[in-house]
Amino acid sequence: MEWLDVSTENCPVQRTLDVVGEKWMLLILRDAANGVRRFDDFRRHIGLSDAVLSDRLRKLTAAGILRTAPYQEEGSRARNEYRLTRKGWDLWPVLVALRQWGESYAPDPGGPVLDMRHADCGAEVRVIVECAEEHTPLTPKDIHARPGPGARHRG
């Protein structure tokens, strides 16, 4: 079976994009990974309306990517903070890869907005694709991709 013969209805890329593929979702995840926790901070930093932000936070929470944690400031009502779950943190390499691509192909003339460095040695952080066994970096020419056991014929 060739790739063009494979149905894409159960494609993991498509299923992932169904959950987080909208621009605002990724920007919320970016901010959450950088320590933003509170509704008003997300709204102010990203510039979303209350309705859109509420909807996206609800969807990310329902998908198990964010979880809520109650907090209360003195003299105010109890509210929720939003924190990445393990499932949410597993999207961090995707965010780093998007940042890396943007710095290469759509850079800001003033330089990177976020300087990501390895805490131990100070080297720049980058995303690579590697062999799970040999831990060596790979390029597309090093990969042989073929339909897997979940592949279905296009109907």
pLDDT value, residue 87: 98
Q: Which domains does the chain have, with CATH numbers?
A: 3-142 (1.10.10.10)
Counting every residue, how long is the chain? 155
pLDDT value, residue 155: 77
What are 71's two structure tokens? 């907090």
Q: How far is CA 88 from the centre of its chain?
A: 7
Average pLDDT over the chain reads 94
pLDDT band at 152 (very low <50, low <70, confident <90, very high): confident
Mean pLDDT of 116-137: 94
Please name the helix (run of DSSP H) or strand (run of DSSP E) that holds residue 47, with its range, or none. Answer: none
Chain segment 33-81, per-residue pLDDT in tens = 999 999 999 999 999 999 999 999 999 999 999 999 999 989 989 999 9
pLDDT value, residue 88: 98
pLDDT value, residue 130: 94
Residue type for position 25: M
